[in-house]
Structure 1
Amino acid sequence: MSLLELNGVKVHFPIRKGVFVDRTVGYVYAVDGVSLSVEAGQTYGLVGESGCGKTTLGRAVLRLNDITEGEVVFDGTDLASLPDEEMRRYRRRLQMVFQDPLGSLNPRQNIESILSEGMAAHGIGADQDERRERIKEILAKVGLPSGSLSRYPHEFSGGQRQRIGIARALVLEPDVIICDEPVSALDVSIQAQVINLLEDVQESMGLTYVVIAHDLAVVRHISDVIGVMYLGSLVEEAPSDLLYAEPRHPYTRALMSAVPVPDPEVEDSRERILLSGDLPSPASPPSGCRFHTRCPWRQDTLCATDRPELRDVGGGHRVACHYAAEIADGRIRRADESVPATPPGPPSGADAQPAAAEDAGDASEAADEGPAERRPEPATSE
């Protein structure tokens, strides 16, 4: 059995309306049936664009958000059904590093008080002196001097505050740490330091990570297995190298095509996938496949009516797409592939969308105009 298993987890937030009588008029389907497993010592990366439910899922594992339906099985125990007091004891083994390093630290407490508070609540250390020594050891692990104990959060830089957040999780000696965008608010050089720190601490303490991030390069570097979320559902899951080498779901392909390549020749010649339309509202998700309203490979059958299950296509690669095999071998082509690709032209001020040549009588005449081709922006996550 895996250390952490999620079975059909759903988190729905009620939409309430009324002045005198508060009534529920609908739900926001933030997480809608996610199943995954994380092995001990593994790093599981969770990616997807803003609003897809990644952070909500991570908070649901710790029951910081109430679970509407499903199981969160940690070391053989279903956390979703535990009473509050028992769940509080389990939180020592399940910790979280929050996205905002400053907002997650109490500005009125010094670092010793912040780090010792959880230790005292869980009975770690016989007295304050013993806890102080333990805190100094953890601070040394995360690269902070012991003189930091008497300082306050606002006296540190962003990278140092994130290290304090990591130290707060480590002092409780957890088994699993959920890292919610651990480096998104940091400079690039500091990001590398924090990622290397997480890897070193994992190796020395035998930790298991669930890393929530929007930067696909960061996720690839640190993760053993990657899950891709879209509109509350897991649409693809695979070992890190396999997912980047052979993305099978149309949404994953679109995400990969948005990652810039530091080689001009490769960047100009590689496939670009532009998604049409906006992300649907999680309060009113589309029927059938959640992605079919934006999918360049959508078909007239199944896509709009039947929701695909996450199925194994070999090698631990799971994908939720009715036509994943047909898309992979070229039997189904993108709707826009019949239009000849236009090489990028000279800059024309602002980035411009290529003009559509739907009603043009001569395709070559449209190509001669040479409009600049806009590269899709990388998806971000909150």
Structure 2
Amino acid sequence: MSLLELDDVKVHFPVKRGVFFDRTVGHVYAVDGVSLSVEAGQTYGLVGESGCGKTTLGRAVLRLVDITSGGVVFDGTDLAALPGEEMRRARRRLQMVFQDPLGSLDPRQNIESILTEGMTAHGIGADAGERRKRILDILAKVGLPANALSRYPHEFSGGQRQRIGIARALVLEPDVIICDEPVSALDVSIQAQVLNLLEELQESMGLTYLVIAHDLAVVRHISDVIGVMYLGSLVEEAPSDLLYAEPRHPYTRALMSAVPVPDPVVEDGRERILLTGDLPSPADPPTGCRFHTRCPWKQETLCATERPALRDVGDGHRVACHYAAEIADGTITRAAGEASPASTPETSPV
């Protein structure tokens, strides 16, 4: 059994309307049937456009948002079924590094107070001296000096604040860390430092990561397995190198074509897939394949009527597309006139 398994997880937010009495008139299908597994010691990268449900899925694992249905099995225990107090205790082994390093830290607490708070809540350390020793050890691991303990979040740079966020997760000795856009708010040079730090900590402490990002380069650099989300669903999953070498889903192919190549000759001559239309609303998703309204390879049958299942096509590669094989071998080609005018996916290529 995998360390973390998600089975058909759904997170639907009710849309309410009314003056005196709220009534539910619909739902926002933020996450709509995601199944995946993360092995111990592995880094699973989750990528997709803004609004596709990546962050909501990460928060659902920690039960920071309510799970509508489905199971989240961590080390043999279904977190979705745990009562409040048991879930609170389970969170010690499941921690999160948030996207905004400043917004996730209490500006009224110094760093020692921030790092001690979780340890005290979970009963880690026999006394204040032992907890302080543990904190100093973790600060050294993330590259911060001991004198940082008496300082406040606003006194640090963005990269240092993100290191504090990582330290806050590490002091609880977790097994899994969910990294929600861990470097998107940082400068490019600092991004590389934080990513290298995460990899070093994984090797030395045996950590397992679920990395949520829209930056394709970040995901490729750090991930063993990558899942691609579109409008609340997982449309493709494969080992990192295989996904970048042979993207099978039309949406993944469009994402990959947006990544620039440093060779100008290759860049000028390579295929560019531009998507038509806008991202549909998660409150009113299309019938059939969620991507068919923007897909350059859409067909008259199945695409608009039947939602494709995520099926294995070999070598651990899973694709949710009715015609993935035909698109790969060239039997089905892109429709004429689908290239422009168009909109590109909201993912960062660098």
| 1:99 is the counterpart of 2:99 | yes
TM-score scaled by length of structure 2: 0.98
1:95, 1:174 within 8 Å by CA — same for their partners in 2? yes
| 1:379 is the counterpart of 2:339 | no
2:4, 2:74 within 8 Å by CA — same for their partners in 1? yes
Structure 1 unaligned segments of length 5 or more: list them. 340-352, 355-373
User: Counterpart of 2:190 in 1: which secondary structure?
Assistant: helix
Matches within 5 A, 1:155-194: 155-194=155-194
2:48, 2:54 within 8 Å by CA — same for their partners in 1? yes
TM-score scaled by length of structure 1: 0.90
Name the aligned partner's letter for residue 50 of structure 2: S
Q: What is the aligned partner in structure 2 of residue 316 from structure 1?
A: 316
User: Counterpart of 1:91 in 2: which secondary structure?
Assistant: helix
1:26, 1:283 within 8 Å by CA — same for their partners in 2? yes
Structure index of larger Rg: 1
Range moving further from structure 2, 124-133 or 33-42: 124-133
Query: Structure 1 residues 338, 114: closer, same or farther in 2, change over 3 A?
Result: closer
How far off is 1:260 after superposition? 1.1
Output the CA distance in 1 between the equivalents of 2:200 and 2:230: 31
Matches within 5 A, 1:328-347: 328-336=328-336
Report the count of equivalent residues. 349
Output the CA distance in 1 between the equivalents of 2:76 and 2:28: 30
2:30, 2:56 within 8 Å by CA — same for their partners in 1? yes
Give per-residue Cα distances to partners, 1:211-233, cap 9 Å, x unaligned. 00111011001000000000000
Give per-residue Cα distances to partners, 1:99-144, cap 9 Å, x unaligned. 0000000000000000000000000011111111100000000000
Output the CA distance in 1 between the equivalents of 2:101 and 2:69: 31
Output the CA distance in 1 between the equivalents of 2:172 and 2:211: 19
Q: What is the aligned partner in structure 2 of residue 8 from structure 1?
A: 8
1:99, 1:180 within 8 Å by CA — same for their partners in 2? yes
Q: What is the aligned partner in structure 1 of residue 281 from structure 2?
A: 281
Matches within 5 A, 1:130-209: 130-209=130-209
How far off is 1:26 after superposition? 0.5
Name the aligned partner's letter for residue 36 of structure 2: L
User: Counterpart of 2:306 in 1: which secondary structure?
Assistant: coil
Name the aligned partner's letter for residue 46 of structure 1: L
Name the aligned partner's letter for residue 124 of structure 2: I
Q: What is the aligned partner in structure 2 of residue 301 from structure 1?
A: 301
Q: What is the aligned partner in structure 2 of residue 271 from structure 1?
A: 271
Query: Structure 1 residues 179, 30: closer, same or farther in 2, change over 3 A?
Result: same
Give per-residue Cα distances to partners, 1:5-40, cap 9 Å, x unaligned. 000000000001111011111000000000000000
1:272, 1:375 within 8 Å by CA — same for their partners in 2? no
1:311, 1:319 within 8 Å by CA — same for their partners in 2? yes
2:102, 2:158 within 8 Å by CA — same for their partners in 1? yes
Output the CA distance in 1 between the equivalents of 2:211 and 2:24: 34
User: Counterpart of 2:14 in 1: which secondary structure?
Assistant: strand
Q: CA RMSD in A?
A: 1.5
User: Counterpart of 1:6 in 2: which secondary structure?
Assistant: strand
Q: What is the aligned partner in structure 2 of residue 18 from structure 1?
A: 18
User: Counterpart of 1:107 in 2: which secondary structure?
Assistant: coil
Q: What is the aligned partner in structure 2 of residue 370 from structure 1?
A: none
Give per-residue Cα distances to partners, 1:147-166, cap 9 Å, x unaligned. 00000000000000000000
How far off is 1:375 after superposition? 9.5
How far off is 1:336 after superposition? 2.6
Structure 2 unaligned segments of length 5 or more: list them. none
Query: Structure 1 residues 100, 338: closer, same or farther in 2, change over 3 A?
Result: closer
User: Counterpart of 2:92 in 1: which secondary structure?
Assistant: coil
Output the CA distance in 2 between the equivalents of 1:251 and 1:8: 21
Give % identity: 85
Q: What is the aligned partner in structure 2 of residue 241 from structure 1?
A: 241
1:272, 1:376 within 8 Å by CA — same for their partners in 2? no
Output the CA distance in 2 between the equivalents of 1:70 and 1:167: 31
Output the CA distance in 2 between the equivalents of 1:332 and 1:253: 14
Q: What is the aligned partner in structure 2 of residue 347 from structure 1?
A: none
